[in-house]
Structure 1
Amino acid sequence: MKIAAIQMESISGQIDKNREKGKKFVYEAIKKGAQLIVLPELWSSGYHLTKPVFAKLQQETKDIVEQFRAIAREHSVVLVVPFIDKKGEDFFIALSVIESNGEILKTYHKSFLWDKEQLHFKHGERKYDPIQTSIGKIGTLICYDIEFPELSRILALRGAQLIIVSSVTRLASEKRWDIQLPARALDNTVFVLGANTVGEGSCGKTKLIDPKGAIVHECSRTKEEILLCDLDFSQIDKARLKIPYLKEFDYSLVPGLVETKLY
């Protein structure tokens, strides 16, 4: 199975330009055979904006999700599309998982907000449930969420085979990005796919990590590009035979967490 992550530079506030660039990358990934394609956090709006501007652009970013539902349906591809969501008067950094028939299987709201994000957005509900898609069972996190190891562990214990992280990770956080994604993959013997932006101080390095914590492929720090990789979920079982972290896990440490047969 081929999967893709789009590493792109967004122009803050330029919805039309970002949308067309994003679509171009997605269509290119489809032509190359990708069955799952992931876009980075706030790709359609840009990241460095004020709360009034985010609010102004919110509906347009959500409308783009509808356009990508049509792309998913037409090309039978699973898409992970971040956007700005709104409930009542509250705004959320969000993403939707779109099935290959165009159905939105899940919308996830970023649950941990970094620094000044808390001035613009609300925390999402802290519930971490993977979703079964036509390409496998995936968990979704957004940027700062990956820095909390408990979230990935819960997703893995609930059966996630691939944890997807849409992100705007800055150069100042590059070291953490390089350490934490492989750590989450190894700790939980799952694949981790991190889709990051470039430009405006972002560190790029979109990457796929295998269940043993090894980098399968990593993009550059500065260039727009498509990460395109083959993914074989059978590697998970092979890794778990040698690294039994989840087999040894004591479910009583997390009240309410139902034991899942992983071995």
Structure 2
Amino acid sequence: MFHVAAIQMRSEMASVRENRVKAVKYVREAAENGARLIGLPELWVSGYHLQPEMFRAIAETAQGETVQLFQRLAQELHVVLVVPFPEREVDGADENIYVSVAVIDTDGRLCGVYRKSLLWGKEQRAFAAGGKHYPVFETALGNIGVLICYDIEFPEPARLLALQGAELVISPSVWSLQAEKRWDIQLPARALDNTYYVLGVNTVADGACGKSKLVDPRGEVLNEASPGEEEILYGVVDVDEIRKAREDVPYLDEYPHELTPGGSEKMREYIQGA
């Protein structure tokens, strides 16, 4: 059992230093209040509503200042941090920008980086899609999966994380007011489908619907933030509840493989080979 926190914050567009100062303040507050795993919203460091050239100017590598700052903070506070950032990758003459998330363990170690695989609308003009690879990160607190915003609207990535042993899936997002109903449906559906916890970390203002939420393995919303205010959402993840939910609702044990030739292996090949 461990305590989690979702930092529901508003970002100042293109104000990297100001956003970092605010995020660090919130992370420290969450840790002081007992959170052991703390997540930030999608593209919090840059803001979401920027032109492609602005994302390109702000983007960093996974060894850049933003990730290193939070590695030091994770080690100092002894917490797991889930830190989105616009990531730059240079391969020879080619340069790609991704919507990425760094997962940092309690000792400051970078467990890995996940790149958003499914891009929504105008994101396709600014970012490259990450490959359809959905890793589970082993941390001191448990097995963590990440699905960024639009990623969690599709059942297959969420199921693949379950098949790989994810206990908590975190969804850093900039989820819009227009799509608020989908936010309220998709997160509980993914939690229930796969009988694990889901922590949705949304932003507020600038057209976002807020309502960060923690959902348990039965699809019940345990706690939900306001639709329009900056705040820290707190909750508890109890791994024993996953076992109990899977005994009551054995979706994973009774997965109907005959409906998909090759079952879960075919799904793995589809997602990882796309």
Q: Aligning the two structures, in what range does the TM-score lie when normalised by the shorter sequence?
A: over 0.9
Q: Deviations over 1:210-234 (max 9, x none)?
A: 0000000000000000011122110
Aligned to 1:95: 101
Which residue of structure 2 lines up, in the alignment, with residue 243 of structure 1? 249
CA contact (8 A) 2:212 2:233 kept: yes
Equivalence map 1:169-208=2 (5 Å) = 169-208=175-214
Q: Which one of 231, 237, 259 corresponds to residue 225 of structure 1? A: 231
How much has 1:125 moved relative to structure 2? 1.0
For 1:75-154, what aligned pairs fall within 5 Å after superposition?
75-88=77-90, 89-154=95-160
Task: Supply the distance in 2 between the matched residues of 1:249 and 1:158 (Cα, whole angstroms).
Answer: 14
Is the CA contact (8 Å cut-off) linking 1:15 and 1:60 kept in structure 2? Answer: no
Where does structure 2 lack aligned partners over 5 or more consecutive residues? 269-274
Q: CA deviation at 1:68?
A: 0.5
Distance, in Å, in 1 between the alignment partners of 2:52 and 2:89 is 15
2:12 maps to 11
Range 19-28 or range 55-64, more displaced: 55-64
Aligned with 2:263 (options 228, 231, 253): 253
Say if 2:61 and 2:88, in contact at 8 Å, map to a contact too.
Answer: no
Cα deviation code 1:26-54 (max 9, x no counterpart): 00001001110000000010000011111
Alpha-carbon RMSD: 1.4
Moved over 4 A (4+): none
Please list the CA deviations of residues 104-130 of structure 1 after superposition, one character each: whole Å capped at 9, or x if unmatched: 001000000000100000000101121
1:108-154 deviation digits (Å, cap 9, x = unpaired) = 00000000100000000101121111101111110000001111001
**Distance in structure 1 (CA, Å) of the matches to 2:23 and 2:236:** 21
For the pair 1:215 / 2:216, whether they are aligned, the reply is: no
The aligned counterpart of 1:69 is: 71
Q: Distance in 2 between matches of 1:211 and 1:151?
A: 17
Amino acid at match of 1:224: E
What TM-score, normalized by structure 2, do the two folds share? 0.91
Q: What's the secondary structure of 1:59's corresponding residue?
A: coil
- Residue 36 of structure 1 aligns with which residue? 37
How far apart are 1:256 and its partner, in Å? 5.4
What SS does structure 2 have at the residue aligned with 1:55?
helix
Partner of 1:56: 57
What SS does the corresponding residue of 1:138 show, helix, strand or coil? strand
CA separation in 1, counterparts of 2:68 and 2:164?
A: 29
Q: Which residue identity lines up with residue 216 of structure 1 in the other structure?
A: L
In structure 1, runs of 5+ residues without a counterpart are 259-263
Partners of 1:166 and 1:196 within 8 A in 2: yes
Q: Alignment identity in percent? A: 48
Displacement of 1:254 in angstroms is 3.1
The one-letter amino acid of 1:254's match is: S
